[in-house]
A and B are shown apart, each in its own frame.
Chain A
Amino acid sequence: MAIPFMHFSDYRTQLIICEVRNISHTIKIRCTNVNWFNELFTKYTSNSSASISVRGGGQLARYYVTASYIRDNGNLYTNPDTDYSTNIHVSRYNFRSNVDMNVTKFTVLSLEIGANMTDAHQPRPITSSYNYQSQASKIFEMCYAQDPVTTPVRVPIGYDENGDVEWGWGASLSTNTANPAERLFGSGYNNTYMTQIMSQMILKQDLGAIAKGLKFQASFAYDYNATSIQSRGKYSSKYAINGINDETGLYKIIQTKVGDDFLNYAYLNSGNRSVEFKTQMNYDRVFNSVHRVGAMAMYYQRSYNNLAAGSSIYALPYRKQGIAARATYSYYDRYFLEFNMGYNGSENFRKGHRFGFFPAGAVGYLISNEPFWKNISPVINYLKFRTSIGLVGADTVPSGRYAYLSTWGTGIGGHYFGSTATYFNGIGEAQAGVSDLTWEKGLKKDVGVEIKFFKSALSFDLDYFHEHRWDILIQRTSVPGISGLNQQPYANMGVMANHGFEGTGEFNSHIGPVKYKIYGNYSFARNKILEKDEAPTDPWRMRTGHPLNQCFGLIAKGLFEDQDDIDLSPKQQFGTVRPGDVKYLDYNGDGVVDSHDEVAIGYSSVPEINYGFGTQFNWNGFDLGVFFRGQAHVSYYLGGSFFPFAHGVGQGNLFEKAMDRWSVDNQNLDAFYPRLSSTTSSNNQKTSTRTIYNGSLIRLSDVEFGYTFTGRMVKSWGCKALRAYFVGNNLWMHSDWKMWDPETGSNDGSRYPLTRKLNIGLKMIF
């Protein structure tokens, strides 16, 4: 790895060049040209992991113990001037111990305990937030947003006693832009300690003495999670160059930010625990080798506590309770019948509306087990048809809890009164309780077939499903503002339909000594909103009737050629329109283009199609695996800094694509960007077919190539096997959208993308 921080020295060179040129000071400052990504991110990093597991025992007891360790490092530079790292380091330790004891001949008591500990160290560019996952992506966003010219990484602020130049963090002369390098190297760090304990005690009782095949099982599970973040953050001083002193020829430096000398300290603890209790009777018996009968009845209850709840209502345990039962029957393992039911209670509804009954049934026919199939089985060795229908429920209220209760909150807010400006708190109604809320319901139907050819060398598993959901718990949206309600009430009002197809396939074979496998999966799902309490409006603008998250916008018809073109076109009601601006279709034909002309465009922002396929080869210790995956039928909105000057002129970055724009000098009606403006242009930034993008993509997501040594030499080291491997992730991608990885779903590419990873590793198995 290269010595970090060498890259800072570049800055001296660049600044000196500017001095030599001796041009006016306003241009001198612009001599910086920073590639923030190169300043902050390294290309290489190392990770390691190890694990051990032991299994053993005898008649009376059996045990299984495993432990593992993983260390991942991020790819940020670290600052040699501080005694702490500014890179990301995550160490994870896992332990698990399972013990089964035979208490009596028919009673087994099991105790399963697992624990894992994670120690994470990260920089903390956002001092106001503890959220440790977001810190690295914030660094990325800052690099993405900071332009290369206004802010130098470092500036010379004077000389120390040895006569060496002292460097301070650079700043822009305008007030509020961040220096990403300062935010990484000068901001301190967070240490996060996470502990997770999962334990379960299970009592299994064979009740064969009462009835053959009858078993009882009771379990008690206790999970505990705790996270403690210790945060040492600060802001470092920043300096801006404000011209050159004409007499001395030295930079005039102003300190724009007085930093902290020491790291501040703050901490945040959070945790939760859950307790689950379950009892269950199982019955499974085959009569006369023909009738396979199964039955199950279960009671469960679960209680979850947020140990660091922000308010008393969230501190109350979250509780669920229910009974479930199942009965199965099969005849000759050819005909299958199954019946399920659930009777579940939710705390979110008022007594009397609290429990929902959810039955389901399924039938299957394994035709290949029929005696007459014998002749066909060399070709089709397995064929099963199945179909099911069932009612499911959901009790999740869009936000909050106890939707049947009216609650009080801070209302519109507080106010200052008095000659001393005393703040008075406010209260007001928050949630308007709806007493008859109840379960959301869905009727699911499924038809499927499993088929295997040539002794299972080729197999398919295909399903078609349809679901109709109603009484969906939504927050109403059609209540007008003049009602004066602080919060729109909840209601069982939504209706949706969803249908689709899923399938997997696999082919296993060999060419000589080379074994190979080809496999793939595909799913298509399309939903439709049938009711969502939408305010009635133009039929073509209604979200109802379209998939959830369907994109809506105007239909763009290119750019305006000139003033005549504007005058002759329907009047666009989004501010002043000039040549080079986007021209839209007057969809409803009323002579004006306004929000009434919006229609469904593109697809939903959730992909309708997901697929993957790959292949694996094995030969003489060599193995090669390749896997592609992709998504299709998906559209994402553009916005944010996709539009040049979104944060104002002189701030943020432009895409190179901005060169391809309409201007008086380049009156190209096919330009990528319309006429640009130094502020938000409500005409050109309207959501339209020009401001969504096709998120379809196919990605070479995994390539793994390895060789396993099992020879004598390896054994002499005490290893069972030694494997050397290369793993590559995200090596290639194709999509129509070239500006950033569409899978981020980002409207301007500022989201941390999937990284390309190349790993070379050695794995020893003892």
Chain B
Amino acid sequence: MKKYLYIIVTIFLAIGCSFLDKQPDDMKTDDMVWSSRTEVLKYLTNCYAALPMDNMQQGDPWLGCSDECDIPWAVYPTYGINLGNWEPSTNFYVKWNIYYKAIRATFVLENNIGRCSELSQDLKDRYIGETMFLRGYYYFLLLRQYGPVVLIKSEMSNSTDFGNLARSPFDECADYVVELMDNAEKLLPLSYESEPESKGRATVVSCRAVKEMMLLLEASPQWNGNPEYSTFVNADGTHLASANYDVSKWQKAAEAAKKVIDLASDPNAHLGLYTNADMNSSSFNPYKSYYDLFNNGWNDEIIFGSIDQGTGTWDSRGSRYSWMIHTIPTGINCMGAVGPTLRLADAFYMENGRAIDDPASGYVERGFSTSNGTHFNPNNYDESTDAGRKGLIGDLKTLDAWGHSKGDWNMFCNREARFYASINYCHRIQLPYSDDAAIRNKYNSTGQQDGYGRVELYYGGISNTGENLNYPMTGMLAQKRVVPCDFYNNTMPGKYVSIYIRYAQVLLDYIEALNEYDPGNADIKTYWDLIRKRAGLPSIFETYPGIKGDKDQQREYILRERQVELNFEGDRFYTCHRRWLCTTEDKGGTTDDRTYGDGGRVWGFSVRAGNPSANNFKSTDFYTRTAFETRVFKKAYYLFPIPQTEIDKSPALVQNPWW
């Protein structure tokens, strides 16, 4: 029996102590990551991953909560926000945590990239330049959304008492962003024209643009001596917003913007406004230039953006596909309801450069047009034949033909090119369908089928049946970023860029800043004219010479130019009611007599007028201006609330004013 005992003892010993030592031997370790060129590149990619891809039609606040747009779906967050259902524990567009994650990642890369012997010094420098840019850009995004931030300027150990770090004054935060951009610029190329696989990465131009945007925000009334922020202090009494107005901040912003503009003359920077042809040539087409700027991948106007996959399956087509689903009129595959407000539609100029309330503009509010617009049928197709219509549809889809057609509501006639590139209105011929008349006719009710596929947005029309919520409450739809293609057959060629910064915005930033301290500066005309020329409009000073040099009047028109030029790009949300604290009082009129302000009554057409089974393209009740909702805007909304969970964890973190 002794041998059994031996066996037992042997078993105990043999199994021994190493049984639990198994651990993942192929696991990535710190050393493996930082010694490998490809892993370092992945880590850098991870720093970019927090950039917000466009999700304007549902998740983003920029359109649904601003005065240029209405998003009717109650399931999307902006709907409830406009009703005033917003508090610090509402999970609305919370970016606080993810931007800080990305900021920490930029430090980690900078602290470890030196360990990678596989990377050349040039590439190491460029990567560091990229992370510095990204850190600054994330801080800029945080500052714009949340106001003064907790400024973390180095990689801090996990055991840091983060809860006791307080917010820094706005100006100090802005200084840090500027410092980062100044340093990053030295490490980055002007453009990636010779290295197209790197498009979308930071450049000298993007650094200078973010610096300029940061300084413009700092100079703006929200942060430049805003008396309402005089009690915005940390627990120790540190003021988080500057107490006194400082006009020189505008000058700093303007000078920084000029530094971007100066690069446009450097051919290596590949910077300038996008056009289909030289602006002075006869083939220049303002509509095509402005429309295509958003739809053909990268171009010289895009200073910073994220490219998005254009083709593939439903799920992987990215943000542009989703935008089109939400903006192409309801019918097959689509549920278009992202509606421009009448305030935005009215802001567009006439093609002659005049505002619609200008008696000399030639604007007619009511009635149907009796003839086509001047650019509508440039090749003079015979519209009475199938072949002629098909040819015209082809021209419309290539954007060579544009403007209103016979039978359009007069309000939409003879407007500037940017109007037609941005606004889709009732009776307009739709671009993203095939040229097959039979398919196009599916989008029209019996008796209205003319082979063109004109959108029916009146009550009872195909795209406003009353059966569902997929129709625009304003009676108009967004046209911008809707790619002319054959959406019926699910084809959508091309790649699309979510544009964060484009050159036209820098020009507008520049003239806005100049106007505040030097309204007579000649550069105002030079660069304003550039924007208007691309839009096919005469100089504003030719149309309205009286405003020249008048700071207040020029400001009104600059902000209007911005409202039009940057419509549906997310700019209005910040520029109007936040950066400029602009809101006009509602005098209770029967039309929208207000210029600014996200709260209050919102206006559109009468999408529930008339008898749905009798309405058609000739129904005029639809075009009656109607206030369809009243939005809540509280002072607290100037800034997003810091998430309640973060306030709870951080004794030193003060909440934003009025939250």
Give the interface of A toward B (CB within 8 A): 24-26, 29, 150, 172-175, 205, 207, 209-210, 216, 218, 242, 245-247, 254, 256, 277, 279, 281, 299, 301, 312-313, 316-317, 319, 321, 345-347, 351, 354, 402, 405-408, 410-429, 432, 477-486, 489, 535-537, 573-576, 594-595, 645, 647-650, 677-683
Q: Is B649 close to A, CB under 8 A?
A: yes
Contacts A418-B197, A481-B96, A481-B646 given; indicate if A25 touches B309 (C-beta within 8 A).
Answer: no
Looking at the complex, which one of B33, B80, B309, B442 makes contact with A575 (CB distance below 8 Å)?
A: B80
Looking at the complex, which one of A246, A411, A650 makes contact with B105 (CB distance below 8 Å)?
A: A411
Residue of A nearest to B41 (CB): A424
Asked if A432 and B1 sit within 8 Å, CB to CB, the answer is: no
Contacts A216-B4, A537-B648 given; indicate if A412 touches B98 (C-beta within 8 A).
Answer: yes
**Which residues of B are found within 8 Å of A299, using beta-carbon distances?**
11-12, 15
Asked if A415 and B45 sit within 8 Å, CB to CB, the answer is: yes
Looking at the complex, which one of B47, B101, B469 makes contact with A174 (CB distance below 8 Å)?
A: B469
Q: Is B392 close to A, CB under 8 A?
A: no
**Which residues of B are found within 8 Å of A418, using beta-carbon distances?**
196-200, 307
Asked if A279 and B105 sit within 8 Å, CB to CB, the answer is: no
Q: What are 10 inter-chain pairs, A to B, with CB distance below 8 A?
A: A174-B470, A216-B8, A408-B33, A412-B49, A416-B309, A420-B197, A485-B104, A595-B88, A677-B83, A682-B90
A-contacting 9-mer, from B19-27, B349-357, B527-535: B19-27
Residue of B nearest to A598 (CB): B89
**Which residues of B are found within 8 Å of A316, using beta-carbon distances?**
22-24
Residue of B nearest to A176 (CB): B335
Asked if A405 and B23 sit within 8 Å, CB to CB, the answer is: yes
A247, B19: Cα distance in complex, Å:
82
Q: Is the interface of B mostly helix, strand, loop or mixed?
A: loop
Asked if B27 and A683 sit within 8 Å, CB to CB, the answer is: no
Within the complex, the shortest CB–CB distance from B258 to chain A, in Å, comes to 29
Q: Is B371 close to A, CB under 8 A?
A: no
Residue of B nearest to A477 (CB): B649
The 4 residue pairs across chains A and B that have the minimum distance between CB atoms: A484-B104, A174-B468, A575-B85, A426-B46
What's the A-B contact tally at a CB cutoff of 8 Å?
A: 274
Give residues of chain B (172-212) contacting chain A, Cβ–Cβ below 8 Å.
196-201
B interface, size bucket: 35 or more
Q: Is B120 close to A, CB under 8 A?
A: no
**Which residues of B are found within 8 Å of A346, using beta-carbon distances?**
20
Residue of B nearest to A425 (CB): B42
Within the complex, the shortest CB–CB distance from A31 to chain B, in Å, comes to 13
A513, B603: Cα distance in complex, Å:
86
**Which residues of B are found within 8 Å of A207, using beta-carbon distances?**
1, 4
Asked if B466 and A26 sit within 8 Å, CB to CB, the answer is: yes
Contacts A347-B20, A484-B101 given; indicate if A681 touches B649 (C-beta within 8 A).
Answer: no
Asked if B152 and A174 sit within 8 Å, CB to CB, the answer is: no
Q: Is B73 close to A, CB under 8 A?
A: yes
Asked if B469 and A649 sit within 8 Å, CB to CB, the answer is: yes
Within the complex, the shortest CB–CB distance from A478 to chain B, in Å, comes to 5
Asked if B467 and A174 sit within 8 Å, CB to CB, the answer is: yes
Residue of B nearest to A428 (CB): B46
Looking at the complex, which one of B45, B50, B84 makes contact with A425 (CB distance below 8 Å)?
A: B45
Contacts A26-B465, A417-B307, A483-B100 given; indicate if A279 touches B11 (C-beta within 8 A).
Answer: yes
A228, B337: Cα distance in complex, Å:
45
14 more contacts with CB within 8 A, not counting A242-B465, A419-B199, A681-B80, are A150-B467, A279-B12, A313-B24, A412-B50, A412-B105, A417-B197, A421-B495, A425-B45, A481-B646, A484-B102, A576-B84, A595-B644, A647-B75, A680-B85
A422, B469: Cα distance in complex, Å:
36
A669, B22: Cα distance in complex, Å:
65
**Which residues of A are found within 8 Å of B650, using beta-carbon distances?**
480, 482, 535
Contacts A301-B15, A411-B105, A412-B49 given; indicate if A417 touches B309 (C-beta within 8 A).
Answer: no
- Most central of B24, B28, B41, B105 by chain A CB within 10 Å: B24
Q: Is B247 close to A, CB under 8 A?
A: no
Asked if B28 and A209 sit within 8 Å, CB to CB, the answer is: no
**Which residues of A are found within 8 Å of B85, using beta-carbon distances?**
574-576, 679-683
Asked if A427 and B24 sit within 8 Å, CB to CB, the answer is: no
Give residues of chain B (64-100) contacting chain A, Cβ–Cβ below 8 Å.
73-75, 79-80, 83-90, 96-98, 100
Within the complex, the shortest CB–CB distance from A434 to chain B, in Å, comes to 9
B19-59 Cβ-contact flags toward A at 8 Å (1 or 0)? 11111101111100100000101110111111100000000
Asked if B104 and A421 sit within 8 Å, CB to CB, the answer is: no
**Which residues of B are found within 8 Å of A678, using beta-carbon distances?**
74
Asked if B24 and A312 sit within 8 Å, CB to CB, the answer is: yes
Q: Is B632 close to A, CB under 8 A?
A: yes
Within the complex, the shortest CB–CB distance from A79 to chain B, in Å, comes to 27
Asked if A26 and B467 sit within 8 Å, CB to CB, the answer is: yes
Residue of B nearest to A173 (CB): B467
Q: Is B131 close to A, CB under 8 A?
A: no
**Which residues of A are found within 8 Å of B19, using beta-carbon distances?**
301, 319, 321, 345
Asked if A575 and B39 sit within 8 Å, CB to CB, the answer is: no
B404-423 Cβ-contact flags toward A at 8 Å (1 or 0)? 00000000000000000000
Looking at the complex, which one of B152, B196, B298, B309 makes contact with A484 (CB distance below 8 Å)?
A: B152
Give residues of chain B (534-576) contacting chain A, Cβ–Cβ below 8 Å.
none
Looking at the complex, which one of A209, A246, A576 makes contact with B446 (CB distance below 8 Å)?
A: A246
Residue of B nearest to A484 (CB): B104
Within the complex, the shortest CB–CB distance from B625 to chain A, in Å, comes to 24
A427, B28: Cα distance in complex, Å:
10
A576, B85: Cα distance in complex, Å:
7
Give residues of chain B (7-21) contacting chain A, Cβ–Cβ below 8 Å.
8, 11-12, 15, 19-21
Asked if B335 and A175 sit within 8 Å, CB to CB, the answer is: yes
Contacts A402-B23, A418-B197, A484-B104 given; indicate if A412 touches B469 (C-beta within 8 A).
Answer: no
Contacts A415-B49, A417-B198, A484-B152 given; indicate if A535 touches B20 (C-beta within 8 A).
Answer: no
**Which residues of B are found within 8 Å of A417, using beta-carbon distances?**
45, 48, 197-201, 307
A-contacting 9-mer, from B156-164, B381-389, B508-516, B585-593: B156-164
Looking at the complex, which one of A174, A246, A573 makes contact with B87 (CB distance below 8 Å)?
A: A573
Residue of A nearest to B98 (CB): A412
Asked if B33 and A427 sit within 8 Å, CB to CB, the answer is: yes
**Which residues of B are found within 8 Å of A486, using beta-carbon distances?**
101
Asked if B43 and A254 sit within 8 Å, CB to CB, the answer is: no
Q: Is B651 close to A, CB under 8 A?
A: yes
Residue of A nearest to B150 (CB): A482
Asked if B49 and A319 sit within 8 Å, CB to CB, the answer is: no
Give residues of chain B (439-456) contacting chain A, Cβ–Cβ below 8 Å.
442, 446
**Which residues of B are found within 8 Å of A484, using beta-carbon distances?**
100-105, 152
Contacts A419-B298, A427-B33 given; indicate if A412 touches B23 (C-beta within 8 A).
Answer: no
A242, B442: Cα distance in complex, Å:
11
Asked if B43 and A416 sit within 8 Å, CB to CB, the answer is: no
Asked if B83 and A173 sit within 8 Å, CB to CB, the answer is: no
**Which residues of A are found within 8 Å of B334, using beta-carbon distances?**
175
**Which residues of A are found within 8 Å of B96, using beta-carbon distances?**
481-482
Looking at the complex, which one of B27, B49, B653 makes contact with A414 (CB distance below 8 Å)?
A: B49
Q: Is B148 close to A, CB under 8 A?
A: no
Within the complex, the shortest CB–CB distance from B203 to chain A, in Å, comes to 13
**Which residues of B are found within 8 Å of A427, using beta-carbon distances?**
28, 33, 39, 42-43, 45-46
**Which residues of B are found within 8 Å of A247, using beta-carbon distances?**
446
Contacts A207-B1, A415-B306, A595-B644 given; indicate if A535 touches B30 (C-beta within 8 A).
Answer: no
Asked if B26 and A312 sit within 8 Å, CB to CB, the answer is: yes
A418, B308: Cα distance in complex, Å:
10
Within the complex, the shortest CB–CB distance from B47 to chain A, in Å, comes to 8
Residue of A nearest to B335 (CB): A175
A174, B469: Cα distance in complex, Å:
8
A124, B149: Cα distance in complex, Å:
50
Asked if B45 and A426 sit within 8 Å, CB to CB, the answer is: yes
- Most central of B45, B49, B86, B465 by chain A CB within 10 Å: B45
Asked if A479 and B162 sit within 8 Å, CB to CB, the answer is: yes
Residue of A nearest to B490 (CB): A258
Asked if B22 and A406 sit within 8 Å, CB to CB, the answer is: no
Asked if B468 and A422 sit within 8 Å, CB to CB, the answer is: no
A208, B299: Cα distance in complex, Å:
91
